[in-house]
């Protein structure tokens, strides 16, 4: 199902972050994954060229002392989440629910660190002069670098240089492309307003990008 | 691969905390799989009347399922092997 596919993309990002967090703990020969490990993993999973571009801040992971970690080796101690790290997941799940998100995304995990004053988050706030409110506000408007497939002006038709244009989109991706809820896209499909296609023999639905653009009507002020 | 049920009593647990625990289980299972022990969280059922949660896992041994729950920091009461039965096979 398309929702599942999209959730898998999200899950992959979270898994990338937690894999990094676990590797960071193992590198430190620790048996526990701390909130700092988690935050480092989340930032690395959101970074491009070692920078997390968040609102007016360019968070430089090297400057924070968070260099990339070689993750190739799965050996090392067996590591468990500390109760504090477990609490981050619970807070993120609450934030995701309030955000009406069907799944916990990296951004929800990052928001869960807003009130933290010590450790890596404390360093980050101190280095960049960030308050908890500014952190949440910046995340509210944030799109991770690797997911910026379209131009930031909202038109969404100009691909970023070098990024491949995706011609077929799932209902979730189509909703993201249009900036509306998935249910809205599904409504368009049901009413016949938006042509959709099934992959031969599969349940998965795909929508042509050009059909999404065809939905646009000129705005005529009254 | 065998199936196991992990029984928990989590009085007053919120759906959010269950989701948080689920994500922890998923990420820890992924790490154990990477380490060479393929464990998978399949699904969970929450029983509101008894405040119990039954979580189903697939894995090579009960010990592997125990370990994923310990790593994920999710308390449990017992782990039992289960035999799967579905309408398709009867």
Question: Residue B12 — pLDDT band, cuts 50, 70, 90?
Answer: confident
ipTM surpassing 0.90? no
Answer yes or no: are the C-beta atoms of A44 and A24 closer than 8 Å: no
Cα R_g (chain A), whole angstroms: 20
CB–CB contact B14 A94 (8 Å): yes
CB pairs under 8 A between A and B: 70
Chain A nearest-CA distance from B63, in A, is: 14
Question: Is residue A153's pLDDT more than 60?
Answer: no
The predicted structure's pLDDT at residue A6: 55
Phi, psi angles (nearest 5°) of residue A61 = -65, -30
Instruction: Please provide the size of chain B in residues.
Output: 90
Structure token digits, residue A196: 């959709």
Average pLDDT rounded to a whole number, residues A141-160:
49
Helix (H, G, I), strand (E, B) or coil at A145: helix
| Environment class of A112 (CB within 10 Å of its CB; exposed 0-12, middle 13-18, buried 19+) | buried
CB–CB contact A11 B21 (8 Å): no
**B29 interfaces chain A, CB cutoff of 8 Å:** no
The predicted structure's pLDDT at residue A3: 54
Best residue of B21, B27, B33 to probe chain A, by most A CBs closer than 10 Å: B27
CA distance A38 to A43: 9
Question: Is residue A71's pLDDT more than 90?
Answer: no
Highest-confidence range of A48-52, B11-15, B38-42, by mean pLDDT? B38-42
Question: Residue A209 — pLDDT band, cuts 50, 70, 90?
Answer: confident
Question: Is residue A159's pLDDT more than 50?
Answer: no
Q: In this structure, how many other beta carbons lie within 10 angstroms of the beta carbon of residue A198?
A: 10
pTM over 0.80: no
Average pLDDT rounded to a whole number, residues B72-80:
96
- Average pLDDT of chain A to the nearest whole number: 82
Looking at per-residue pLDDT, the higher value among A203 and A140 belongs to: A140
Looking at per-residue pLDDT, the higher value among A3 and A128 belongs to: A128
CB–CB contact B30 A96 (8 Å): no
pLDDT per residue as tens digits for the range B16-31: 888 999 999 999 999 9
Q: Which residue of B has its CA nearest to A33?
A: B71
Q: In this structure, how many other beta carbons lie within 10 angstroms of the beta carbon of residue A89?
A: 29
Best residue of A24, A85, A90 to probe chain B, by most B CBs closer than 10 Å: A90
CA distance B1 to B62: 11
């Amino acid at each position: 199902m398309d929702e599942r596919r999209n959730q898998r993309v999200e899950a992959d990002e979270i898994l990338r972050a937690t894999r990094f967090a676990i590797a960071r703990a193992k590198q430190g020969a620790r048996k526990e994954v701390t909130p700092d490990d988690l935050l480092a993993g989340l930032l690395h999973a959101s970074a491009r060229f070692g920078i997390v571009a968040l609102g007016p801040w360019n968070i430089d992971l090297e400057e924070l002392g968070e260099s990339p970690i070689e993750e190739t080796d799965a050996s090392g101690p067996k590591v468990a989440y500390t109760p504090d790290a477990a609490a981050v997941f619970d807070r993120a799940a609450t934030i995701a629910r309030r955000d009406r998100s069907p799944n916990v995304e990296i951004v929800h995990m990052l928001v869960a660190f807003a009130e933290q004053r010590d450790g890596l988050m404390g360093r980050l706030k101190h280095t960049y002069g960030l308050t908890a409110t500014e952190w949440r506000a910046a995340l509210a408007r944030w799109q991770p670098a690797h997911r910026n497939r379209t131009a930031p002006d909202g038109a969404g038709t100009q691909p970023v240089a070098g990024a491949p244009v995706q011609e077929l989109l799932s209902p979730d991706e189509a909703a993201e492309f249009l900036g509306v809820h998935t249910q809205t896209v599904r409504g368009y499909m049901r009413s016949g307003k938006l042509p959709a296609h099934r992959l031969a023999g599969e349940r998965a639905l795909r929508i042509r990008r050009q059909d999404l653009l065809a939905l646009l009507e000129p705005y005529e002020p009254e | 691969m065998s199936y196991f049920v992990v029984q928990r009593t989590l009085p007053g647990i919120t759906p959010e905390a269950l989701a948080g625990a689920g994500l922890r289980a998923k990420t820890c299972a992924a790490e154990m799989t990477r380490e060479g022990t393929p464990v998978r969280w399949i699904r969970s059922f929450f029983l509101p009347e008894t405040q119990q949660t039954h979580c189903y896992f697939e894995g090579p041994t009960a010990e592997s399922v125990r370990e994923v729950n310990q790593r994920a920091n999710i308390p449990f009461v017992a782990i039992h092997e289960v035999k799967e039965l579905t309408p398709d096979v009867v």
